[in-house]
Each structure stands twice: as C-alpha cells, then as structure tokens.
C-alpha cells in the first residue's frame, strides 16, 4: 500500500533499476540514471539517462473499486479504495557520443522489456514488502506528441523514450469507523 510518498518511491525504483543496468556499458565512465525535471542543463560527464516524470493521471481501468475494510484485530473501519495512478516518464540520454547515447537507450529498452513488472524485493520505500506491482510499458507516442512534451518543457527535441507505469496505488488517509450491528428488525407481511 502506498502512502503520499509513493510517487517518489516509484521514481526511485525506476532510477535504481536503470543505474544498475547501465553499469556494464563502460568500465572507464559508466553512465548513470538520475531523476531530473530538465529545468536546468544536465551536467555531464558521466553520461546520464534522465528520468523525468512529466504526467500523473488517474488510471481509468481501476475506478469503482470497493472500499477497503480494516482487518481484525483493529477496530472496524473503512477507507476509500486507493487512487490508481498512471505515471508517465520521459527517459533521455545525455553526454558521451551518439553511439553511447544509443547504447544507453538500448539498455533502458532491454531492462524494461526483460523486467516489465517490478515487484517484491525490487520495490522500496512505502512499496517495500507490499503485494503491489508496477507494470512498465513503452508508450507509443507520435513524433508530434513527443514534440509537444519537449515544447511544454521549453527544450529542443531530443531522442527519448516515453514509459508509462501503472497502477500506482495511493492510499486514502481518511478512515471511517464502522459501527457493528447489535440488533435487527424485520418488518413486512408474512407470506402464507
């Protein structure tokens, strides 16, 4: 279950997965992944893959879930179902030559193709030891759509990957006590 820090935890998991997979690309100066909002110039060396969270949306396929009930021995309460989030990331290579940047993109694609579902010990923060899993998929955007993302952050277009992470569960903080039923009254007419 994810608390308010779940978005940061997902970003950290993605950066750690990419950094680990980039280690084998170069012995001299291995590339790294970093969380970056691209508002400033990306500092290189070493070559970097920036991970930029550019959109958060509610996952429409996970709406209308039932309320969550507390488990005994806790007092009986209900909570709204977790808000199911979709996180969209822009993964961009920086530094090194073109071949190095293409290898970094290739390694990122390979990493999230081979392990498209992150779960269990791969998760950290509020997601650690939970039953949640993160599904990563390459988002098929047209060149115009990609250009709009770069235009929105006021940077010139660069070759990059767009990934979507679903479903990230953000738990509600409001719990409502449930009063147990002590008696009942049945009204109506008896049937012959």
pLDDT higher than 80, residue 14: yes
Q: Whole domain around residue 65: which residue ranges?
A: 6-177
**Quick check: is 158 in a domain?**
yes
Residue written as tokens 């070759």?
Answer: 159
8 Cβ partners below 8 Å, 6+ apart? 125
**Quick check: is 185 in a domain?**
no
Query: How distant, in Å, are the alpha carbons of 14, 39, 58, 156, 160 from that of 149?
Result: 20, 13, 19, 10, 11
**Quick check: is 146 in a domain?**
yes
**Quick check: is 192 in a domain?**
no
Number of domains forming the structure of the chain:
1
Which one has a higher pLDDT value, 141 or 171?
Answer: 141
Query: Which pLDDT score is estimated for 70?
Result: 67
Query: Which pLDDT score is estimated for 92?
Result: 92
**Quick check: is 65 in a domain?**
yes
Query: Which pLDDT score is estimated for 66?
Result: 67
**Quick check: is 165 in a domain?**
yes
CATH number for the domain harbouring residue 65: 3.30.2000
What is the number of alpha carbons within 13 Å of residue 141 lying toward its C-beta?
Answer: 20
- pLDDT tens for 52-89 read 999 888 888 777 776 677 667 677 777 777 788 899 99
**Quick check: is 95 in a domain?**
yes
109 Cβ partners below 8 Å, 6+ apart? 138, 161
């Amino acid at each position: 279950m994810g608390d308010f820090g779940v978005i940061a935890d997902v970003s950290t998991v993605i950066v750690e997965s990419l950094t680990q997979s980039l280690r084998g690309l170069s012995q001299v100066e291995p590339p790294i992944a970093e969380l970056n909002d691209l508002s400033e110039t990306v500092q290189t060396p070493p070559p970097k893959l920036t991970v930029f969270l550019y959109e958060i949306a509610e996952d429409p396929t996970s709406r209308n879930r039932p309320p969550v009930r507390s488990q005994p021995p806790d007092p009986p309460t209900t909570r709204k179902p977790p808000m199911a989030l979709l996180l969209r990331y822009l993964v961009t290579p920086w530094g090194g030559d073109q071949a190095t940047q293409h290898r970094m993109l290739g390694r990122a694609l390979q990493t999230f193709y081979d392990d498209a579902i992150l779960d269990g010990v791969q998760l950290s923060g509020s997601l650690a030891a939970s039953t949640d899993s993160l599904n990563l998929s390459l988002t098929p955007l047209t060149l115009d759509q990609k250009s709009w993302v770069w235009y929105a952050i006021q940077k010139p277009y660069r070759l990059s990957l767009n990934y979507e992470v679903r479903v990230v569960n953000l738990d509600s903080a409001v719990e409502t006590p449930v009063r147990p039923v002590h008696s009942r009254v049945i009204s109506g007419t008896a049937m012959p």
